[in-house]
Amino acid sequence: MKRVDPLNSAEFRTLEGAGMKKELLPMIRDGAARLPFTLPAIAPIPSIALALLILVMAKPAMAQTPVTVCGTFEMDPLGMCLVFYPDDPAIGDIAADLGTLPMPPAGSYGLLSGTAWDCVGICFPTLCISGGTFDPIGCNPASGPEFIRGDCNNDMSFNVADVIYHLTSLFASGPPPPCRDACDMDLSGNDDIGDSIQMLNVLFQAAPGPPAPFPDCGPAAPGGPVPDCQNPICP
């Protein structure tokens, strides 16, 4: 059998050209090396980097949908992010990007519009919106009828005649107030003897005025109880 000189083999010449002769020659002479040699393996990619790479490569194109929704900007429970919470909780929390527009302060209610897609983030939003706009008056409910609180007899003024009218309506089978909300001095949602007492206190005891609208015509504040106001005299 023909003896092969490992120092003249093609494998060694390849390694010699790569600058590895000095290290390999003693090993070959001492019989500690065998050909063909196997080059050192390349270090593996860290698992987290590999996972991120797979995620980026495998990530499908996300559907983008125009969204217009009413809600409130609030800080997330950890106080890290300003998140938009829609009135309909089924929509989920929204991380909004308003571009060059300033972000509204926490507690701002309004209409958020933009292009949305499913996303994740450090504040765990359900949706992300880019190119968003925020209209703080876009979701305000339509104003109700205007009246003057305390004007129980609907004559465009507040005086002792309103107290008499209210007491007569309550205890002497008098006609009901044309605008019961005007008689609701304490915002309880009802007109009762407590409202008559409050009227007297405002007229004769220098008590603070009732909640708006007072002393001029105006709508009731949004969110408050509105018994009814079927025949408001205010324009």
Tell me the residue range of the domain where 82 lies.
65-135
Q: Are residues 117 and 163 in the same domain?
A: no
Q: Are residues 5 and 25 in the same domain?
A: yes
Q: Give the residue from 100, 123, 101 showing the smallest Cα distance to 110.
A: 101
Domain-located, residue 129 = yes
CA distance 125 to 108: 18
Q: Are residues 75 and 111 in the same domain?
A: yes
Q: Are residues 76 and 129 in the same domain?
A: yes
Domain-located, residue 173 = yes
Domain-located, residue 69 = yes
User: Residue with structure tokens 């009413």?
Assistant: 70
Q: Are residues 151 and 117 in the same domain?
A: no
Domain-located, residue 225 = no
* Coil vs helix vs strand at 73: strand
159 or 29, which is more confident: 159
Distance of CA 16 to the CA centre of its chain: 66
Q: Are residues 70 and 129 in the same domain?
A: yes
CA distance 184 to 152: 9
Give the Å distances, CA to CA, from 36 to 9, 14, 44, 211: 9, 10, 23, 95
Q: Look at the chain and report how many structural domains it folds into.
A: 3
Give the Å distances, CA to CA, from 180 to 29, 82, 149, 200: 111, 41, 9, 17
Q: What is the mean pLDDT of the chain?
A: 76
Q: Are residues 155 and 176 in the same domain?
A: yes
Domain-located, residue 52 = no
Domain-located, residue 177 = yes
DSSP 230: S
Record the tokens describing residue 9, joined without a space: 């083999």
Domain-located, residue 124 = yes
Q: Are residues 69 and 129 in the same domain?
A: yes
Each residue's pLDDT tens digit, 4-26: 455 555 544 544 555 544 444 44
**pLDDT level of residue 1 (50, 70, 90 thresholds):** low
Q: Are residues 84 and 26 in the same domain?
A: no
**pLDDT level of residue 199 (50, 70, 90 thresholds):** very high
Q: Which of 54-68, 73-87, 89-103, 165-179 has the lowest mean pLDDT?
A: 54-68
Domain-located, residue 230 = no
Q: Are residues 71 and 112 in the same domain?
A: yes
